[in-house]
Amino acid sequence: MMEVLRPVLVNINGRIYRKNQVQEESYEEEEDDYPYSAAAAEQCLDEPCDAYNIEQTDKGFRCAIDVPSVLYKYIIGKKGETRKRLESETKTSISIPKQGVEGQIVITGVHRAAVASAVTRIEVLIDSFRRKQPFTHFLSFALNHAQVQQGFVRFREQVLERCGQDAGVDESIFQNPAKLHLTIGTLALLNEQEVTRANELLQQCQDVIRDITEAKPLPVEVRGIEYMNDDPSMVDVLYAKVAVQDKSDKLQQIADKLVECFAAAGLMERERERVKIHGTVMNTLFRKDPSAEDKGASGRPNAKDREAFNAKNILQMFGDYYFGAFELNSVQISQRFSTDGTGYYSSAGCVTFS
């Protein structure tokens, strides 16, 4: 009963839909095949007539929607079954560009309601698979100021010297000094159009950010370390704490506003009420792959891929360690697994505080 009174809501491209409670219908997945979920395609009850740009034509109605080419296969389905079923159930025709070619998926039909139904089903289906895509970009505050990098290098040297014999502690699990950062939230931007859209949205947030900072750089301090699990002797990630020097919550406000904005646009999932203000300094994912990055709560890396370390002595000796201070003056859309001329991540968009 509560499911009916308080249904689950889904945000797709900034539009809110209500989910129905339906029996999931699944198919065994084969290599390079993708199962069609009747539940995923039929969950939306609310189909506002003005939600889509449905055009009237000589033969009926037509609607074109933007879908990244990497997701075409989920609409086509195993041996074309998904598309055939969608076409049959909605009495429409669905035209999909060739794999790897960016373009629009075009839905045509005799009746407007049929086209609207097909578009809704496709968007819900795509949204379910989009959530499974690894993130490609992330909103970040760069913490790699020269003073902080120097402080981090000293921290690494001292930890290895004083705690190097502790279980799991070695040089391989330390962050690259040039890539020290604070992650605000992750983004799966699957083509250039989506990267452009995210950058435009970030530019729109600039006035809000400058209202918070009073159009000035934000003096911040990186001091102290913390962990997030219950056992300090079995830790996977250690974080540096980041705070505004005047003790205000301006940095928190900026981070929360950005997540609110990007989540409302359907570009980011909001994982918690407030963004956790911290920067990774040690991570066991780096042990096997120096280019690996903390995936956050949504990544849930498999425990077998990690070898925890004993952080008890590190926390005791360096709990209030001072990494440095600097004036933070920008937020950027950083590209995962990339490097720019300074050693930081390549930027797909940036706004300044002043």
Predicted TM-score of the model (pTM): 0.81
Tokens of 155: 């921290």
Measured distance CA(331)–CA(348) in Å, rounded:
11
Q: For the chain, list the domains and their CATH numbers.
A: 8-20+45-132 (3.30.1370.10), 137-285+308-352 (3.90.1140.10)
Of the pLDDT bands very low, low, confident and very high (cuts 50, 70, 90), residue 230 is confident
- Dihedrals phi, psi of 103, to nearest 5 degrees: -175, -165
| Amino acid making up residue 146 | A
3-class SS at 96?
Answer: coil
Q: Report the amino acid identity of residue 47.
A: E
Structure token digits, residue 321: 């360690």
Please report which residue ranges of the chain form alpha helices under DSSP H: 2-5, 38-42, 72-76, 81-90, 112-130, 146-163, 192-204, 206-213, 250-264, 296-299, 312-318
Spatial strand order in the sheet of 55-57:
55-57, 60-66, 104-109, 92-95
pLDDT of residue 284 exceeding 80: yes
Question: Of 151, 230, 143, 134, which is closest to residue 188 (Cα–Cα)?
Answer: 134
pLDDT at 50 over 60: no
Q: Is residue 292's pLDDT more than 50?
A: yes
Residue 32 has pLDDT above 80, yes or no: no
- pLDDT interval class at 42 (50, 70, 90): very low
CA–CA separation, 127 vs 32, rounded Å? 19
Segment 300-308 mean pLDDT: 67
Residue 236, class by beta-carbon neighbours within 10 Å (0-12 exposed, 13-18 middle, 19+ buried)?
buried
pLDDT digits (tens, 9 = 90+) for 323-346: 999 999 999 999 999 999 999 999
pLDDT bracket for residue 24 (50, 70, 90): very low
User: pLDDT per residue over 202-216, tens digit each?
Assistant: 999 999 999 999 999
For every residue of 255-306, DSSP letters joined together read: HHHHHHHHHHTTSS---SSS---EEEEEEGGGGT-TT----HHHH---GGG-
The predicted pLDDT at position 270 comes to 87
Q: What is the mean pLDDT of residues 127-154?
A: 95
CA distances to 60, 109, 110, 111 from 57, rounded to whole Å, are 5, 10, 9, 11
Per-residue pLDDT of 266-277, as tens digits, reads 899 888 889 998
CA distance 204 to 333: 13
Name the band, by pLDDT with cuts 50, 70 and 90, for residue 106: very high
User: Looking at residues 180-189, what average pLDDT do you find?
Assistant: 96
**Does position 300 have pLDDT exceeding 90, yes or no?**
no
